Structure 1
Amino acid sequence: MSSEFTPVSPAELKSAAKRAYIYTVPLVIMETTRKWRMGAGANVFNHARKLLTHRSRWVTTPNNDTLYSDAWLDLSKGPVKITVPATGERYFSLAFMDMYTNNFDILGTRTTGNNGGVYTVVGPNQAVPEGATNVVRAPTPRVWALARILVDGPDDLPAACAVQDGLFVHDGAAPEDVAPGDPVQRSADWPEYLATANRLLRREPPPVTDGLILEQIRAMGIGPDQMFDADAFDQEQAEAIERGVEEARNWLVQIQRARRSAIDGWTYPSMRNGDYGQNYTLRAVVSVGGLGALPLEEAIYMRAEGDAEEGLFDGNQNYRLHFPAGAMPPLNSFWSLTLYEAMDDGQFFFADTPLRRYAVGDRSPGLQYNEDGSLDLWIGARSPGADRESNWLPANEGPFALFFRGYMPKADLMEGRYRLPRVERL
């Protein structure tokens, strides 16, 4: 491995530093999340036995529709086998993400069906074990396996937990030792951040199709075949790198709360969502604001354009979302509207409201449709009245964001022939 690089100007180093931060921040965020979640070691599923609440802050923009089960797979010592249980008619997905946040395979209702099975997950440079079937090939040696298991109301929770019990990694998978100490986060000083990012690039080799961006940041001594050395730069160069990293970091925070191009009051996801290819900017934005997002064909995520600053909504105001009769979202599964408190760093988490109701959707108990078949959802910090509370999504009194999730969307929604109605201020 080399730490040598061609001398370049401070301006070029600043530009390279911005590119390097945008390119590597998903990798660093994944490693941070991995370290936080690996209390039981690698190759073991952690099961969240309750729906997430306002206290759940380990992943941004969580959902309140499904139980989560997740495992951090270490394939560096060999393949692992995973049993997926039969799930009946319940929505289930098990997404496999590489360390760059790309969903490279999804098992479950949409793809493999609900009958379950045994799957062998193989690392990027490993041979498939003799006799193995249902092989999943991973692009990186470490993988995040994230399952979503639909919960159809509080009474359904025990049955959903039983599905979790049937999801496991087989014995014999070697657990990985977790290095002591706190993970290096994306807010770390540039020498520590870039050293960590480069260590991860060496440990989790990027795809050959990332060759161009790697050449563009090579001048900093960063790459899967290099050793980053912050001391190799003089003061002027170091200051340029610091400015580049800081500009990239600030931009990622600002873009989470910026007004974006909206259609009838909603921003729609890129077709590359969840599997980003060479769209490194989108990948970085989603890793900060929606880590673990699924690809469009599995779930579609839309954010409502608010009427307050930075595209947010004002918790001191009241709003309504009205679906005309016969114009509900076209889906093969379910939908929900979720409200999040907006944080200063660009992340979103459930708000702590008196009802502890974080989302409403087509499975919400007591949801009332109007006589003509239309549907009104009431949003705000103040109750819309006792006769409307079954359709009320309570808000915090500060700025908040609204996200719509639709699982297994039909072509009309994915291809833009159907659009959500605008959220109205009352």
Structure 2
Amino acid sequence: MNRRELLAMAGVLGLAPSWAPSWAQARQTGDAAAASAARDAWLYALPLIEMATARARMLKMPGAAINALNHSRTLTDHTGRAVTTPNNDTLYSTAFLDLTKGPVTLTIPVTGTRYYSVAVMDMFTNNNVVLGTRTVGGEGGIFTLVGPGQAATGPNPTRIATAHAWLLIRTLVNDNADLAAAHKVQDGFGLKGPAATATPAYAAREAAPAAYFAAARQLLAADPAPPTDLRLLRRTSAYLGAGPFDAAAADEGVDNARMITVFAKGRQTFVNGWAYPRANLGDYGQDYLYRAIVALQGLGALPVAEAMYMKAAGDDGAGNFKGDGLYRLTLPAQLPLDGFWSLSMYEVTPDGQYFFTDNPLRRYAIGDRTAGLKRNADGTLDIWIGRTDPGGERSANWLPAPKAGPFSMTLRTYLPRAELLNGQFRFAPITPV
């Protein structure tokens, strides 16, 4: 990657150029155009690879099968490592779909006032539809999920862009006493479809370039890209098409692609201590780079109309906290949303993914349903964040950080109102005490 390309990529990412010279030392052994094509091919295919990896993990769960729902009966805790950046607010019900032999019928039960969402994502991680509190309401219904080229028959036909897809249901839980009622809602969801054939194994993102691109070609054969991606596919045809490709150029391009994912993590634009999602989160169009980064950092993200995810800037201005002292976040008495909110704590793994951290309270997030929180006289809420209990009245509002190592925080707001969506409302930063 030459310096010009490097700075251009920095502009796309919205990154400061201070780290750019280190990229300029990248190897220049292969043909520059071929290496650039390999870089872009690797990033383009990453969502497909991550979806296939998540599907393989799910199918290892007891009783899991294609076109069948698998319910998680407990809220995700520090032992849950299947998908990065999970929430601790909702129960997950998940299914990977195979629509090649015909439509799949989805039944949504009556949910009343309880929040839920059913996101159906194509293999490129775009949310083709979100059926839930915002769009369907609490009365439920029956929906026919239809693959490409299939006749749109059945109740409420809903077109899915690829023949394979991921269906992810989130069912809100108020507290542990509410679990039984939430389970009844989960049990009301139904999925019925043709029996599916065995799913092949695919290489993961850590694979060598030859294996990675072979898997990408297999996945694209099973779920072809939309015509709007043809320009990129022509330019990367050596890797995502018939080939052949030069091994040295592939190595250089993949190395650069991996560096992009490393440097892009947290290198977002922060406004008063928070990075706000782009408007195209969850439905990316031709924003292949953003799509790749989200697939790595937050696979399965909802579109902003459904939920907004804000990442805290951290001590380094790139999303990581490293201090051993106490931090504070002050929230207003009322937030501009029609759903619920939570602040989640994550430990940062060596490969840059985010999972809940073990702690003495077994508290992985603080939100509007957290019992025993103490508000200030004016209704505002101080959340105290640190590796050790702050003591006294602050203990009630303590969000425990990992005992050691870097950590990260994400603030979720479900069903945000216009002032949050359009940027009129901004959160106060998390600050050291």
Q: TM-score, normalised by structure 1?
A: 0.91
Q: Is the 1:254–1:346 contact (alpha carbons within 8 Å) kept by the matching residues of 2?
A: no
Counterpart residue number, 1:127: 151
2:25 counterpart residue number: none
1:406 aligns with 2:413: yes
Q: Tell whether the 8 Å contact from 1:315 to 1:395 is kept in structure 2 after alignment.
A: no
In structure 1, C-alpha distance between the alignment counterparts of 2:239 and 2:293, rounded to whole Å: 25
Distance 1:17 1:221, change over 3 A: closer
Give aligned-pair identity as a percent. Answer: 47
Query: Which position in structure 1 is the counterpart of 2:236?
Result: 217
Q: Deviations along 1:376-405, whole A, 9 cap, x unmatched?
A: 000001111132222110001221011000
Q: Does 1:28 align with 2:49?
A: yes
Return the match for 1:49 from 68, 73, 83. Answer: 73
Amino acid at match of 2:257: A
The residue type equivalent to 1:146 in the other structure is: L
1:253 aligns with 2:253: no
Q: How far apart in 2 are the matches of 1:254 and 1:187?
A: 17
Equivalent position of 1:416 in the other structure? 423
* Cα distance in 2, alignment partners of residues 315 and 341 from structure 1: 13
Match of 2:11 in 1: none
Query: Do 2:38 and 2:239's aligned partners in 1 also have CA atoms closer than 8 Å?
Result: no
Residue 329 of structure 1: CA displacement?
2.2
Within 2, Cα distance between the matches of 1:80 and 1:311? 40
Structure 1 unaligned regions, length at least 5: 1-8
Say which is worse superposed, 379-388 or 308-317, in terms of deviation. 308-317
The equivalences for 1:258-273 within 5 A come to: 258=267, 260-273=268-281
> 2:239, 2:374 → 1: CA distance?
60
Contact kept, 8 Å, 1:73 with 1:142, in 2: the verdict is: yes
- Equivalent residue in structure 1 for 2:337, among 331, 334, 342: 331
Task: Tell me if structure 1 keeps the 8 A contact 2:97–2:167.
Answer: yes
2:27 paired residue number: none
2:196 to 160, 175, 192: 175
Superposed counterparts of 1:265-414, under 5 Å: 265-308=273-316, 310-324=318-332, 326=333, 328-396=334-402, 397-414=404-421
Match of 1:163 in 2: 185
**Which deviates further from its counterpart, 351-360 or 307-316?**
307-316
Which residue does 2:13 correspond to in 1? none
Q: Secondary structure at the match of 2:118?
A: strand
Would the aligned equivalents of 2:99 and 2:164 in 1 still touch at CA under 8 Å? yes
Q: Residue 19 of structure 1: CA displacement?
A: 0.6
Distance in 1, matches of 2:95 and 2:319, equals 35
Q: How many residues align?
A: 400
- Distance in 2 separating the partners of 1:56 and 1:100: 24
User: Higher mean Cα deviation, 359-368 or 409-418?
Assistant: 359-368
Question: Quick check: 2:41–2:239 contact (8 Å CA) kept in 1?
Answer: no
1:101 maps to 2:125:
yes
Partner of 2:247: 238
Q: Which residue of 1 aligns with 2:160?
A: 138
Deviation at 1:64, TM superposition (A): 0.1
Q: Which secondary structure does the structure 2 equivalent of 1:321 belong to? A: strand
**TM-score, normalised via structure 2 length:** 0.90
Deviation by residue 1:179-216 (Cα, 9 ceiling, x = unmatched): 3xx64110100000001001111110111111111122
Q: Name the CA distance, whole Å, in 1 between partners of 2:317 and 2:136.
A: 43
Residue matched to 2:22: none
**Cα contact 1:257–1:311 (8 A) shared by 2:** yes
Asked whether the equivalents of residues 311 and 319 of structure 2 are also in contact (C-alpha less than 8 Å), the reply is no
1:310 offset after TM fit, Å? Answer: 4.2
How far has the Cα of 1:241 moved from its partner? 1.0
What CA distance in whole angstroms lies between the structure 1 residues aligned with 2:77 and 2:185?
21
Q: CA 1:176–1:163 in structure 2 vs 1: closer, same or farther (change >3 Å)?
A: farther
Counterpart CA distance in 2 for 1:102 and 1:355 is 36
Is the 1:315–1:400 Cα contact (8 Å) retained in structure 2? no
Q: Secondary structure at the match of 1:281?
A: helix
* Contact 2:213-2:239 at 8 Å conserved across structures: no
Encode CA deviations 1:63-115: one digit per residue, 9 max, x unaligned: 00000000111000111111111111100000000000000101110001111
CA contact (8 A) 1:81 1:121 kept: yes
- Residue 169 of structure 1 and its aligned partner are, at CA, apart by 1.0
Asked if structure 1 preserves the Cα contact closer than 8 Å seen for 2:388 and 2:400, the reply is yes
**Would the aligned equivalents of 1:273 and 1:293 in 2 still touch at CA under 8 Å?**
yes
| Counterpart contact for 1:94–1:146, Cα < 8 Å | yes
SS at match of 1:403: strand
Query: Aligned partners of 2:331, 2:121: CA distance in 1, in Å?
Result: 35
The secondary structure found in structure 1 opposite 2:361 is coil
